[in-house]
A = this chain, B = another copy of it.
Amino acid sequence: MTRTYAGTIEMLRQAGLRPTRQRVGLAHLLFGQGDRHVTADQLRGEAETAGIKVSLATVYNTLHQFSGAGLLSEVFVEPGRSYFDTNTASHHHFFNVDTGDLADIPDGEVGVTALPVPPAGTAIDDVSIVVRVRKHQR
């Protein structure tokens, strides 16, 4: 978690990304407050609220650049929406189908029993578990 501007700038430099006003602002929103799960649109809204002027196209570019640099990971839970996760360690997710909220499953609470044998000619890249939850009706 980077919290100072100097630290954010250093992080971006190390990732080979110029610390532009937009990137620094978005990095602050993303990495300044613990683990986060955001869509491009949500992040754009937060940036606006925070007074960071940035276009949606740049938010997308930035999220992909951060992913490429290993600062973010992408999570697939829904067609038509991309989520980005500041937790780049291997872990799993709860997805609330009613609200669209994505949350980490605490470490160790779930895992896979064994790795399956991948189809011929392929190798395993990533294993993800998504636990879909909904409002508990009573």
Contact = CB atoms under 8 A, between A and B. Distances in A.
A97 to B, nearest CB: 7
Secondary structure type dominating chain A contacts: strand
Contacts of A125: 97, 132-134
Contacts of A110: 112-116
A94 B116 contact: yes
Interface string A84-99: 0000000010101100
Interface string A110-122: 1111111111011
Contacts of A131: 115-116, 118, 124, 126-127
Contact of A79 (B80, B112, B130): B80
